[in-house]
Amino acid sequence: MISSFSSFTNPFTRSSFWGREKELGIIWGRLLSNPPQSVVVIGEPYMGKTRLVKRLMESSLVDEQVIEYHFTFVYLDCKRYIELVEDWGTKTQADKEKSVEQKREGDTSNFAAARFWWDLYNNLPGNSQGDESFPEPKKNEDDASLLDAAYDISFAVEKWVQSHSQPVIFVLDNFEGVARLPLRNSDRLRSMGDSCAFILTSRYALYVLYNYHPASWAQPSPFYNIFSDTIYLGLLPEQEVNNYLVWAVQEAEKSSSHWYASDSAFIRKIAGRHPELLRIACARMFEERLSPQPSSETEETEAEEEDYKFLTLRLVQDGSLLCKRLWEGLANPELYGLVGSPRAIKKEDSPLLSPYQSTLLDIAHRRMASDTKILFELEQRGLIERGNEMWCIFSEVLRQFVLMQEEVIGQANTGGPAAITSLSGTPTERDDEHSLTYREGKVYDYLKFHLGEVCDKTEIMQAVWGEDNMPSHSALQKIIERIREKIEDDPESPYKLIAVRGRGYMLRRAL
């Protein structure tokens, strides 16, 4: 009997950590220095930065002399502080003058800073309550109280580090959120560097992030100077990919998903050496191969051809959110090393292509690209690779997405600034006349990329919040309701964004 597909029976719905042995070895080597060296890991979204550092925290280190080393890791995801600071930066003056009760969460950088230190303090191992009790910072507190709270809590964190017997390593994931806080917070971290070490993950180099603070260049010892050479997390080595696909075939077989001999080669071509796209491709292949097998070799060949056409379309769709993040990141000022501001409109909002996007488009068309600096950085970030003595995009999924962006831009240029384009290339009119908040916009973007499809609630939350930080279903429902208030003519009787009982939500195509 063929087992039915579900997210609970599919072994690739949530994959465990694999690969990255070289990067793990480099980080361990630096932590074994005396004192331990601080490390920064730079990589694109979905490249596995978070899984890498969490794997590091779970590992024990034993050297060639069978000596075991112990570290105390303190982990904190700093993504929320990006949102807190950027939300405030995009407010209008009228919004800022509203009463405290009407302000959205995280409307000041001082609140975000106090929250950062409070979160860090409460993440100290065995210190959930702490020797000292600090009240949770509130967004309606005055600046003086928030400044005092940040200082007092940071002092308590430093005191805990100094009293700890094992070397303390702070793992600050998505460090962009801390870099955007007032500079004094990074100075405070810098002053703690003699007693601990840091492992940071970021999409962009630290010195570029600190361009937000011109005063940082005048500091004699800026925070980013304490780090050893940057580790760039790019595509996986060929051998690690091959090992993963061998394991994938074996895992699928255990659950009666029988893969053809050519399936691994198809996955390798469509997903490249990208860890998340490989997982997604294996998940879809597992689902496809739960169906009965052809009875003859001719039927098998014909089935493979049709299956691969269908799977390619599904995987381009499945990978659209990932590809969108990669594509838009190539338009951000940070990539150029430019001085930016969280309050400035990012280049990704411009109808013009950045030099990095133009180069990627040339490569997608297999045209010659000659800017060595841009090619080097695209390869370093794992977006392109060398094949048959020419540059190519690392996966067929991203290549097709990039070609679709060319069509989107062409339609936008002819359709005017009010036109938006869905994943299928169908233009629709922009109906979110009132600005969406950061989180509402993320949910709305996901629904737009799956226009006309029923989106599972869990998949929405995983895509927007990440699998380790998913909110409750009721929290998602409240965001859906707020989106409806801004896009529906009658939010009480929605017809654009509807709920499908027992399944999820769907943004309907224009009638």
Per-residue confidence band for 151, with pLDDT thresholds at 50, 70 and 90: very high
- Which of 122-131, 389-398, 435-444 has the largest mean confidence? 389-398
pLDDT at 190 over 60: yes
Q: How many CB atoms lie within 10 A of CB 194?
A: 10
> pLDDT, tens digit, for every residue of 80-104?
898 777 544 434 434 434 433 334 3
pLDDT > 70 in the chain, percent: 77
Average pLDDT for 275-296: 83
**Looking at the DSSP assignment, which residues form a beta bridge with residue 505?**
455, 499
> 214 or 261, which is more confident?
261
pLDDT for residue 64: 52
- Which residue, among 68, 59, 53, has the nearest Cα to 23 in the 3D structure? 53
Per-residue confidence band for 189, with pLDDT thresholds at 50, 70 and 90: very high
pLDDT for residue 86: 58
> 108 or 434, which is more confident?
108
- Which of 109-118, 217-226, 404-413 has the largest mean confidence? 109-118
pLDDT > 90 in the chain, percent: 40
- Which residue, among 238, 244, 408, 245, has the nearest Cα to 320 in the 3D structure? 408
Q: Which fold has domain 427-511?
A: Arc Repressor Mutant, subunit A (1.10.10)
**Strand arrangement of the beta sheet that strand 72-77 belongs to:** 72-77, 168-173, 197-202, 39-43, 231-233
d(CA 484, CA 482): 5
- Which of 129-138, 160-169, 306-315, 462-471 has the largest mean confidence? 160-169
Query: Is 194 strand, coil or helix?
Result: coil
d(CA 202, CA 414): 37
Query: What single DSSP character describes residue 421?
Result: E
Of the candidate ranges 354-363, 405-414, 450-459, 472-481, the one whose mean pLDDT is the lowest = 405-414
pLDDT for residue 251: 92
d(CA 59, CA 470): 25
Q: Which fold has domain 21-233?
A: Rossmann fold (3.40.50)
Do 287 and 10 touch, CB atoms closer than 8 A?
A: yes
DSSP 143-187: HHHHHHHHHHHHHHHHHHHHH-SSPEEEEEESTHHHHTS-HHHHH
Where does 417-472 have alpha helices with state H? 438-449, 457-465
For the chain, what is the mean pLDDT? Answer: 80
pLDDT at 471 over 80: yes
Per-residue confidence band for 351, with pLDDT thresholds at 50, 70 and 90: low
Domain ranges of the chain: 21-233, 238-318, 427-511
pLDDT at 61 over 90: no
Of the candidate ranges 25-29, 80-84, 430-434, the one whose mean pLDDT is the lowest = 430-434
Where does 40-142 have alpha helices with state H? 49-58, 79-89, 93-96, 109-122
Per-residue confidence band for 414, with pLDDT thresholds at 50, 70 and 90: low
Number of residues that make up the chain: 511
pTM comes to 0.72
Q: Residue 96, exposed/middle/buried by CB under 10 A (0-12, 13-18, 19+)?
A: exposed
